[in-house]
């Protein structure tokens, strides 16, 4: 038997030597080595190809696996997105529903309350004493219900975007005075000391009605959860914030996160058995969020609580009304040195258009302008409830005493000659911004 088995080598031996049999005996080990080398080369190649093929297959399987994972992830993401949209839609519908229902309840309920009051004030057929007591009881419960429905309406309006905060400047002390004025009776009835430490002259940039509602909620709660001899204090811990501190019951730490949630019911019965819907704090939180602020609470059970409503700090905004371009540029630049944003208008009409959109902290206006002069603008500003608190500074080259008097009579906060002397004008503008 031939020791050579590789077909190529066999063929080569046949072609060139007439076959392996005719190969000299002493060269046989050599031919065997060559034969082995041929086989080795083949098997090496086979192994290499096998490795290549297998590893390619593995890559194909791996990439299919990855593709499947990516598709699964995409599907999951889509599902999550759909679910989120559904949830949001459900929430919107719910708010809308609450709003509608509340409204439908409120209207007939107001009539019922009115009729009941009429019944009580009927002097022709006066009620018996015990009937009166009953009626008063019914009215009290009814008022509570009306308040709750109002609150629900407010919540849903705020959440459905029907209420948009109207931001303007308001004196902090006037907010707190309004609140303490309305609640001093309730406080003194419970024997609670209600103290307002808000300093005068501090201004807040907010929606006064909504912010007053928040402070009112906080003080109502403070009174509700305090006992005779306790004290409720309103103060400003920092600029742009009002805090309500009480020495009442305090809140357990684990209950604090639940206070501000609409879907959580915390204990809403006061120390004197006052009832509530538990909507006050969640609603206040909604308001503060809508105002771009925060509502925070610190409390020690047994020692009382401090609720702090903080408004977002704002860069003052100045509306500059002047028809001449060059003086307007100079004024704008000097006003901007007060760290304020400046909006420009060329005349009174344009200024009113701006005021309909935003509430600046200060209006600086010229008198002689086309399309509504400064006096008319001043008049309009002071006539509207939305803008009358904005200080107006009049600048004019007409420095006659009558002009000046007219400006002040119409409600201007300050008057300055034109061109203004910057080192005189800027401090006065700054004072009005503060």
Partner 1 sequence: MKVEQRIWTEKGGWSPSAPGEAESLGSAAELVLVFGGRERLTDARLMGEVRAAYPSARLAGLSTAGEILGGEALEGSLAVTAVSFKSSEIRMEQVKIRGVGGSHEAGQALASSLGHDGLRHVLVFADGFCVDGAELARGMWENLPYGVSVTGGLAADGEEFEKGVVLLDGEAWGDRAVAVGFYGDIESGFGAGSGWVPFGLEREVTGVEGVILSEFGGRTPLEIYENYLGDEAARLPASASMFPLLILTDDDMGQTRSVVAVNREDGSVRLNGAIRRGARARLMLGGPERLAPAASEAAGRVAAALGGKSAELALAAFGLGRRMILKQRSELELEAVLGALGGAPLAGFYSLGEICPPRPGAPYSLMSQSASLTVLRED
Pairing of strands 203-206, 168-171: antiparallel
Q: Is 44 in the site for partner 1 (CB under 8 A)?
A: yes
Contact between 190 and 272 (Cβ < 8 Å):
yes
- Binding residue for partner 1, selected from 11, 14, 50, 132, defined by CB under 8 A: 50
Tally the residues of the chain.
434
Q: Is 58 in the site for partner 1 (CB under 8 A)?
A: yes
| β-strand partners of 205 | 169
- Could you tell me which stretch among 54-62, 138-146, 193-201, 381-389 binds partner 1 (CB under 8 A)? 54-62
Cβ nearer to partner 1, comparing 66 with 272: 66
- Binding residue for partner 1, selected from 3, 27, 29, 51, defined by CB under 8 A: 51
- Binding residue for partner 1, selected from 8, 27, 46, 64, defined by CB under 8 A: 46
- Could you tell me which stretch among 41-49, 215-223, 251-259, 275-283 binds partner 1 (CB under 8 A)? 41-49
The C-alpha torsion from 339 through 344 and 350 to 352, rounded to 10°, is: 10
Q: Is 64 in the site for partner 1 (CB under 8 A)?
A: no
Q: Is 37 in the site for partner 1 (CB under 8 A)?
A: yes
How far is it, in rounded angstroms, from Cα 349 to Cα 38?
101
How far is it, in rounded angstroms, from Cα 220 to Cα 276?
10
Determine whether 268 is exposed, middle or buried from the number of CB atoms within 10 Å of its CB (0-12, 13-18, 19+): middle
Q: Is 48 in the site for partner 1 (CB under 8 A)?
A: yes
Q: Is 131 in the site for partner 1 (CB under 8 A)?
A: no
- Residue 27 CB, nearest approach to partner 1 (Å): 17
Cβ nearer to partner 1, comparing 46 with 275: 46
Q: Is 69 in the site for partner 1 (CB under 8 A)?
A: no
Number of alpha carbons in the 13 Å side-chain half-sphere of residue 369:
28
How far is it, in rounded angstroms, from Cα 335 to Cα 196?
35
Q: Is 27 in the site for partner 1 (CB under 8 A)?
A: no
- Could you tell me which stretch among 56-64, 96-104, 344-352, 353-361 binds partner 1 (CB under 8 A)? 56-64
- Residue 55 CB, nearest approach to partner 1 (Å): 3
| β-strand partners of 169 | 205
- Residue 38 CB, nearest approach to partner 1 (Å): 11
Cβ nearer to partner 1, comparing 37 with 141: 37
CB neighbour list of residue 195: distance below 8 Å, 6 or more residues apart: 231, 232, 233, 234
- Could you tell me which stretch among 37-45, 112-120, 273-281, 376-384 binds partner 1 (CB under 8 A)? 37-45
- Binding residue for partner 1, selected from 8, 27, 47, 141, defined by CB under 8 A: 47
Geometric angle at alpha carbon 266, from 260 and 269, rounded to 5°: 120
Q: Is 40 in the site for partner 1 (CB under 8 A)?
A: yes
- Residue 22 CB, nearest approach to partner 1 (Å): 25
- Could you tell me which stretch among 52-60, 171-179, 368-376, 401-409 binds partner 1 (CB under 8 A)? 52-60
Contact between 285 and 307 (Cβ < 8 Å):
no
How far is it, in rounded angstroms, from Cα 261 to Cα 277?
12
Contact between 299 and 170 (Cβ < 8 Å):
no
Q: Is 42 in the site for partner 1 (CB under 8 A)?
A: no
Q: Is 59 in the site for partner 1 (CB under 8 A)?
A: yes
How far is it, in rounded angstroms, from Cα 248 to Cα 256?
15
Pairing of strands 304-310, 241-246: antiparallel
Which spans of this chain sit near partner 1 (rule: CB under 8 A)? 33, 36-37, 40, 44, 46-48, 50-51, 54-55, 58-59, 62
């Amino acid at each position: 038997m031939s020791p050579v088995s590789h077909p190529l080598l066999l063929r080569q031996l046949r072609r060139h030597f007439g076959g392996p049999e005719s190969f000299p005996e002493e060269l046989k080990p050599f031919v065997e080595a060559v034969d082995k080398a041929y086989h080795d080369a083949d098997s090496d190649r086979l192994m290499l190809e096998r490795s290549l093929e297998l590893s390619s297959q593995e890559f194909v399987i791996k990439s299919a696996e990855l593709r499947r994972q990516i598709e699964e992830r995409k599907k999951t993401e889509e599902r999550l997105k759909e679910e989120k949209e559904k949830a949001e839609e459900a929430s919107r519908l719910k708010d809308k529903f609450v709003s509608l229902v509340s409204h439908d309840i409120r209207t007939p309920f107001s009539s019922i309350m009115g009729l009941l009051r009429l019944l009580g004030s009927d002097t022709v057929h006066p009620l018996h004493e015990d009937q009166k007591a009953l009626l008063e009881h019914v009215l009290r419960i009814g008022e509570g219900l009306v308040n709750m429905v109002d609150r629900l309406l407010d919540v849903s309006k705020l959440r459905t975007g029907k209420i948009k905060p109207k931001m303007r400047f308001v004196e902090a002390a006037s907010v707190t005075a309004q609140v303490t004025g309305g609640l001093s009776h309730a406080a003194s009835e419970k024997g609670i000391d209600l103290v307002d430490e808000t300093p005068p002259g501090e201004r807040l940039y907010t929606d006064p009605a909504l912010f007053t509602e928040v402070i009112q909620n906080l003080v109502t709660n403070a009174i509700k959860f305090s006992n005779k001899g306790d004290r409720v204090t309103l103060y400003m811990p920092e600029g742009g914030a009002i805090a309500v501190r009480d020495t009442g019951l305090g809140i357990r730490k684990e209950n604090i996160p639940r206070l501000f949630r609409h879907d959580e019911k915390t204990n809403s019965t006061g120390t004197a058995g006052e009832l509530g819907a538990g909507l006050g704090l969640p609603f206040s939180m909604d308001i503060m969020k809508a105002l771009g602020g925060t509502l925070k609470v610190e409390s020690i059970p047994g020692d009382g609580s401090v609720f702090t409503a903080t408004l977002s700090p704002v860069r003052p905004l100045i509306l500059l009304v002047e028809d001449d371009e060059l003086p307007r540029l100079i004024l704008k630049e000097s006003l901007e040195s007060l760290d304020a944003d400046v909006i420009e208008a060329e005349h009174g009409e344009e200024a009113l258009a701006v005021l309909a959109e935003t509430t600046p902290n200060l209006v600086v206006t010229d008198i002689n302008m086309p399309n509504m002069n400064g006096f008319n603008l001043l008049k309009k500003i002071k006539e509207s409830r939305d803008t009358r608190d904005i200080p107006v500074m009049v600048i004019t080259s007409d420095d006659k005493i009558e002009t000046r008097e007219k400006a002040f009579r119409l409600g201007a906060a300050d008057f300055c000659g034109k061109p203004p002397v910057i080192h005189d004008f800027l401090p006065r503008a700054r004072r009005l911004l503060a």
